[in-house]
Amino acid sequence: MERPNAWNQYDDQALQAVEKAARGYKNYLDHGKTERECAAEAIEIAKAAGYTDLNAAIAAGKAVQPGDKYYAVQMGKAVMLFHVGRQTLDKGLNIVGAHIDSPRIDLKQNPFYEDTDIAYADTHYYGGIKKYQWVARPLALHGVVAKKDGTLVNVVIGEDEDDPVVGISDLLIHLSQEQMAKKASEVIGGEGLDIMLAGRPLKDEEKEPVKAMLLRILRDRYGLEEEDMLSAEIEAVPAGKARDFGLDRSMIMGYGHDDRVCAYAEIEAMMTLPPVPEYTCCCLLADKEEIGSVGATGMRAQYFENAVAELLALMGQGGDLMLRRALANSRMLSCDVSAGYDPLYAAAFEKKNAAILGHGVTYNKFTGSRGKSGSNDANAEFIGRVRKVMDDHGIAWQTAELGKVDVGGGGTIAYICALYGMEVIDSGVPVLSMHAPHEIISKADLYEAIRAYTAFLTDMGQR
């Protein structure tokens, strides 16, 4: 059952819509290279569309009405958008959920040192990466530093045209005989991902003069002392903007498609809902998925159910039973990217069950690995209803698995939300070079994802 190429169904008006979606997404990607930046961008978009702070409504004891729009934030790294519908919450919500963290390299809490007149930063990689891909490329530094007086200093170095960039050096090919004989997983070790930051000594400084120059720059530009790094979150990410990819400009290459492409599609879908949807709609943007959805901002935390409980209380429907009903009766698309079929690595895929770039949004009945370990495995009845909504709206969509059965696998937040008893299926955009510093998607798949999530939010009903 080969699914058609989405590009073949577009007229001039649709092609313009595809390019408009791509421009908006590239802008979101360029301004959201960390989970904090993605969360802040989402909140600004929501505010411009009339969303207000749920905490303010709670403090005021405001009665929630159909059509109200709220946002809630968890520690600046996870965001929830709610658009209240006609039906009471015990009938369930229509939810689209994605994660906004991406694989990267984090600076350690005591990072700076000098060796042979070069200042470095010690690092710890975050998420599943091929470590050798991060060397010999320009990197930018993004993040925040929390000072003892409560001041939060935002740091972005390497993105403006006149900014310097930093990076990790590689060994020259002339001396790499031993290195080239290693397995790819051993070519660069985790402790070998230290970032070069400076190479000029501070005059008249006898002890570590290059590190002293680095610290003076940080003090003069940001008012930071070395000790402030103890309460800092600084991430090294690929420098530069997302770019059109391919001579036909049909694709986008950029950092963080996994999973910001789905996050952006969700946000766009929420912004186009009718004034009062039938069911309350929720956009859920979570952190920490790349390391197991742990921590206070990961999906395993309870901030989502707490926010739903607060909405119920403001509707006069508080109580544990009503919360359980609301969650159990909900319907969700766990929106996360899928592995796009790559003809150059065909041996890793089973082609007729693979996601093809340009063939639309992808649905994965299950993820996990090998014997479906760690999988949600959506029920057939729910998939049937999703199929109807997609086809009724003329959306290009396909189904896929994440590679051959015994080759590997992956996971999303679907299995966590399924613990509430709600209906959940994975849905996302196919990606080439997933988890590499630069990934590739099709503009058509982004556009179809926006359409798919809009249709799901507006038309998906109860089981």
pLDDT digits (tens, 9 = 90+) for 41-56: 999 999 999 999 999 9
The pLDDT, as a whole number, for residue 2 is 75
The pLDDT, as a whole number, for residue 359 is 97
Fold held by 104-238: Aminopeptidase i, Domain 2 (2.30.250)
Percent residues over pLDDT 90 in the chain = 91
Q: What is the pTM of this model?
A: 0.96
Q: How far is CA 356 from CA 361, 404, 429, 444, in A?
A: 10, 15, 10, 11
The pLDDT, as a whole number, for residue 313 is 96
Give the pLDDT band (50/70/90) at residue 97: very high
Sign of CA dihedral 71, 284, 267, 432: positive
The pLDDT, as a whole number, for residue 463 is 83
Look at domain 6-102+255-459 and name its CATH class. alpha beta
The pLDDT, as a whole number, for residue 394 is 96
Give pLDDT tens digits for 120-160. 999 999 999 999 999 999 999 999 999 999 999 999 999 99
The pLDDT, as a whole number, for residue 63 is 94
Give pLDDT tens digits for 239-262. 999 999 999 999 999 999 999 999
Name every residue whose Cβ is closer than 8 Å to that of residue 152 and which is 6 or more positions away in sequence: 144, 145, 146
Domain boundaries in the chain? Answer: 6-102+255-459, 104-238
Give pLDDT tens digits for 319-364. 999 999 999 999 999 999 999 999 999 999 999 999 999 999 999 9
Which of 272, 113, 89 is closest to 207 using CA atoms?
Answer: 113
Is the per-residue pLDDT at 286 higher than 80? yes
Give pLDDT tens digits for 389-415. 999 999 999 999 888 887 877 888 999
Mean of pLDDT over the chain: 95
Give pLDDT tens digits for 315-328. 999 899 999 999 99
What mean pLDDT do residues 172-197 have? 95
